[in-house]
Amino acid sequence: MRNWLPYRKAVLVRNPRLAGKFDIARLPSWSGGGRGSVLGGHILVIPRLSKNRGAALKAVDFLSSRAIVKRDATEFFLPPALSDLWRDPAVRRAMPDDLQESVFNARLRPRVSNYQSVSRAIYTNVNRALRGDLEPEEALELANDQMDQALEGP
């Protein structure tokens, strides 16, 4: 399964039929290349036209407080944004062993205007190769063609 780790892990460990029957692995690196991680975000913003900025700021303060960030890490497996929480024993138990390295070494995702289409070209064709519907070389060529189309198109 290719999915964002924290969200899926939180769902899987709470399912009694699946708990203990799965593991998490890092994606492989390319030959000669290193590993790379790209982070999503839990971005808390207050709209400029908000009618109640004070309440919105209190909500942001609450959601980004140490207690809630720790709760999100231990109960929902969301990597903590507060770096010292990675040393907390409860957080360390909740996080996969190599997640901290992935988070601390993450890079910005490429600036691609049609990112969804590029991503889709990769994951659908890799999946087809893994299922045996296509030879790996054919899947990669098809993915490359689809990425080129996505990058050229609107």
pLDDT tens readout for residues 43-101: 889 988 999 999 999 999 999 999 999 999 998 888 898 999 999 999 998 887 777 88
Beta-carbon contacts of 149 under 8 Å, excluding residues fewer than 6 positions away, are 117
**Cα angle 23-26-28, degrees, rounded to a multiple of 5:** 130
Q: In percent, how much of the chain has pLDDT > 70? A: 82
pTM of the entire predicted model: 0.62
Return the pLDDT at 154.
Answer: 65
Return the pLDDT at 142.
Answer: 96
23 pLDDT tier (thresholds 50, 70, 90) = confident
Return the pLDDT at 37.
Answer: 66
Beta-carbon contacts of 70 under 8 Å, excluding residues fewer than 6 positions away, are 80, 85, 88, 90, 91
Return the pLDDT at 78.
Answer: 86
Return the pLDDT at 38.
Answer: 63
Per-residue pLDDT reduced to its tens digit, 123-154: 999 999 999 999 999 999 999 999 999 988 76
How far is the C-alpha of 40 from the C-alpha of 27, rounded, in Å? 16
